[in-house]
Amino acid sequence: MMKTANIFKTILVAGISISLAQAVFATDLDSTSYKIVGATTSAGGGLLDSASGSYSLMNSVGNIAADPRSYSTNYRLQQDPSVNFIAAQPGIQCFETTTDGATNCLTGPTELSGGMVAICGAGGCYNKARFEIVTNSNPSDTLYTIAISTDNFVNDIQYIDGATFRPEAVGNHDINDFRTQTYWETEVFNIQGLQATTLYYIRISALQGDFTQSDYSIASSTTTAAGSISFDIDIADSTGITADTDAPYTIAFSGTDDLMAGAAATTAPNLVWLDINSNSTGGVAIIQFGKNGGLYSPTTSQTIASATADLDSVSEGFGLQSYYIDNDTSAFLGDLTAMTNYAGSINSVGAVSTTANKIYDGDGPIQNGRVGINLIAKANTSKTPATDYSEEIYFVLVPRY
């Protein structure tokens, strides 16, 4: 006859009776196809049977894990064997928005070697971020979900939508938001729709089969950038691609380039140079307008009217012509282009009117943008000579966020 031994100890402390029990169980666990012989659980465990007697659950507490994820040369973590079936708790390789010249990310595009500034523009990313996953030996088909918060998961808890890569409410979070490492990291900006100048935290959980979701990783944080633009004017001749000058910004048709009535079109000896930087995802527009709509003389009260024209084909006129364009280029940055009316050659110009006209357009973030603009004029014989024909030209940089 088999016996089960139960040992009880009772301790009386301050009138409170506390019972400590230890039990040892040994049995065979059967199914239709398999048998586990002599299964034994340690203190705190046992066999839990269903009411119908059809199912048994072996519950064990305090065993040393056989999972190599749970120990090192010097230490082992005691845990229930069921933990070995749970996906390994992942880590966060990088979570970045504003890094410059360096990155902890490993699988992004080559441009990312220059940090997030290299792919978002000056200042970094104001509305998106990139993260990468440390799998901790999880197999390649493991799925991961990403939680995001602005208060380190105290009250604000959202998840990253697996299709749109944008934060979503807990109520909208489902199995479709669990994706593989490859899926998440193939998307360069795998968190989108963020607010500028905001501190965000993320943490990641892994899933490898049913009922195997891991604990969440240690949280990682980053702060999104502000919308950033810089715009500068310089005055220099055609060799001044890198010139840096201070106000006042004045250009004159003078010396050998005097504007003479009845003479051919004349190009001013100096150019307007503009520096442009912006992290605006939608790019930029550079617009210009004048105070007088042409070169006006207070002395004669006459104006050499500005026009969009080939000055070799008209009796007089005044306008702007793009001479030089440059900016950093990559798949993630935009390019500056001159508008058609201002992209002419020889003596074709675009008007400087009293209403705004776009002279350049950028189709994405602009990094180290530089443009040079010629001023070209022609006066006919009906104009009274004077030394005070002038125009005030305003240039405005408009970012598109």
pLDDT of 1-44, one tens digit each? Answer: 443 333 333 333 333 333 334 443 444 555 666 555 554 444 44
CA-based radius of gyration for the chain:
36
Indicate if 200 and 63 belong to the same structural domain.
no
- Tell me what the mean pLDDT of segment 150-162 comes to: 97
Find out whether the peptide bond into 81 is cis, omega within 30 degrees of 0. Answer: no
Q: Where are the alpha helices (DSSP H) in 1-158?
A: 117-120
Q: Which residues pair with 294 in a beta bridge?
A: 305
Q: Is residue 1 domain-resident?
A: no
How would you class 319 by CB atoms within 10 Å of its CB: exposed for 0-12, middle for 13-18, buried for 19 or more? buried
- Pairing relationship of beta strands 167-168 and 56-59 according to DSSP bridges: unpaired
For residue 268, pLDDT beyond 60: yes
Q: In the chain, count H helices and then E strands.
A: 2, 28
Contacts of 263 (CB under 8 A, 6+ apart): 378, 379
CB 213 within 8 Å of CB 88: no
Domain match, 254 and 383 both: yes
Q: Are residues 321 and 296 in the same domain?
A: yes
State whether 139 and 79 are in the same domain: no
Confidence (pTM): 0.76
Sign of CA dihedral 379, 383, 385, 388: negative
The tens digit of pLDDT for each residue in 231-240 reads 999 999 999 9
Identify whether residues 358 and 375 lie together within a single domain.
Answer: yes
Which among 150, 383, 370 is positioned nearest to 240, based on CA atoms? 370
Burial 195-225 (b: 16+ CB within 10 A, else e): ebeeebbbbbbbbbeeeebbebbebbebebb
Residue 241's domain comprises: 229-399
Residue finishing a domain among 33, 53, 85: 85
